[in-house]
Amino acid sequence: MTKIDVDLLVISEMRDYVQEQLDVRFRAHKLYEAPDADAMIAELGPSIRAVAAGSHRNVDTDLMDKLPNLEIVSNFGVGYDNVDAKSAGERGIIVTNTPDVLSDEVADTAIGLMINTVRELPQAEQFLRAGKWTSANYPLTPNTLREKRLGIAGLGRIGKSIAERAESFGLSIAYYGRSDQKIAYTYYDSLKALAENVDIIISVLPGGTATNKVYNEDVFKALGPDGTFINIGRGSTVDEDALIEALKNGTIRSAGLDVFDHEPHVPEALMALPNAVLLPHVGSGSVYTRNAMGQLLVDNLTNWFENGKPITPVAETPFSAK
Ligand code: NAP
């Protein structure tokens, strides 16, 4: 592999598998290891042409201002709400993400989380481990997936992988998004309408200002006392206080959450609730899938500098050859 004559700023810690490739192909500078990040940016800023990003540090206009020759931000993750992609696009900076390679893994996690939440499997395991089985059976679960209607909010790449799996469970499927995709599933043009017409919502909505706290008291009321809310998208889409209240007072039955508003911090009130199943953002978290995502991050960078064409640029930014 030939070395590419480019200074790359690595702003979030990468897996070894990724970092080793970045070190081989580029002059990679690890911002997250710098004792004084501002000093490193001041010294290297004009020479940096590429950024490798992750969720630990945002790429905002403040950072872009300090990197005047930046051409590409390669982000680890399909969600890129950590990058101001609109401003990057306006400056002619490409932003890439890692779609598709994680969809099946995240869909598996979403389905697992749904079953765990509806059938209380983690709670049943706690019951066994606490030695309670010798004196009683675990109570029958009031909820089931049988004869249920599933609403998917955000029927994109991951949402469709979830729908494929859910069909095999016999769930009837509806969805919400900004547009009617004219497909076999029933479309609702608002979250409230979706919530009124399904038993379970799985949310795969992206983060960002347009979806900020769109799951509020009204939506939880519409979902109703038998309803289950699963979130595999972004924590910022949920008014967590309203969700906690809805779970406490029976406005909805249960919730399964892989993502939270202030990760890795999860509200104590949520952790205390017996009808919430909580995961530490593990949707795509297998070695296999994280390696595939890392490879795509690297390939986006090398393709841009070798061929003038990134592989998976996001919608807001340009991608034409240099
Ligand atoms: P995608 O293919 O772009 O799908 C996103 C869907 O959301 C689209 O169907 C889109 O439909 C809808 N949508 C986008 N903006 C919306 C808005 N403002 N209001 C309503 N609907 C909106 O993306 P994906 O690959 O499926 O990934 C989706 C999200 O999953 C990511 O952005 C990320 O936040 C999250 N994620 C989480 C994990 C995890 O580990 N938990 C892992 C990967 C991804 P319309 O265009 O019709 O509105």
CATH topology of domain 103-278: Rossmann fold (3.40.50)
Kindly give, in sequence order, each residue whose CB lies less than 8 Å from that of residue 8, ignoring residues fewer than 6 positions away: 22, 26, 27, 28, 29, 48, 49, 50, 51, 52, 301
| Residue to substitute in 76, 96, 103, 178 for testing ligand 1 pocket (most ligand atoms within 8 angstroms of CB) | 178
> Rounded mean pLDDT of 164-173?
98
What's the CA-to-centroid distance between 157 and ligand 1, angstroms?
Answer: 8
Q: 105-149 pLDDT, tens per residue?
A: 999 999 999 999 999 999 999 999 999 999 999 999 999 999 999
- Average pLDDT value for the chain: 97
What's the CA-to-centroid distance between 207 and ligand 1, angstroms?
Answer: 8
> Rounded mean pLDDT of 176-197?
98
What superfamily does domain 7-99+287-307 belong to in CATH? NAD(P)-binding Rossmann-like Domain (3.40.50.720)
Protein residue closest via CA to atom 39 of ligand 1: 283
Kindly give, in sequence order, each residue whose CB lies less than 8 Å from that of residue 304, ignoring residues fewer than 6 positions away: 50, 71, 72, 94, 96, 310
Q: What is the pLDDT of residue 63?
A: 97
pLDDT classification of 1: cutoffs 50, 70, 90: confident
Q: What is the pLDDT of residue 39?
A: 97
Q: What is the pLDDT of residue 321?
A: 53
Contact between 143 and 122 (Cβ < 8 Å): no
Percent of residues, the chain, with pLDDT higher than 70? 99
Contact between 230 and 171 (Cβ < 8 Å): no
Active-site residue numbers? 234, 263, 281
Specify the residue for token string 């004219």: 182
pLDDT classification of 319: cutoffs 50, 70, 90: confident
> Rounded mean pLDDT of 175-179?
98
pTM: 0.97
Residue 187's DSSP bridge partners are: 175
Q: What is the pLDDT of residue 320?
A: 61
pLDDT classification of 56: cutoffs 50, 70, 90: confident
Residue ranges, comma separated, of all CATH 3.40.50.720 domains in the chain are 7-99+287-307, 103-278
Q: What is the pLDDT of residue 322?
A: 54
Kindly give, in sequence order, each residue whose CB lies less than 8 Å from that of residue 110, ignoring residues fewer than 6 positions away: 158, 162, 202, 204, 230, 232, 258, 283
What's the CA-to-centroid distance between 248 and ligand 1, angstroms?
Answer: 28
Percent of residues, the chain, with pLDDT higher than 90? 97
pLDDT at 84 over 90: yes
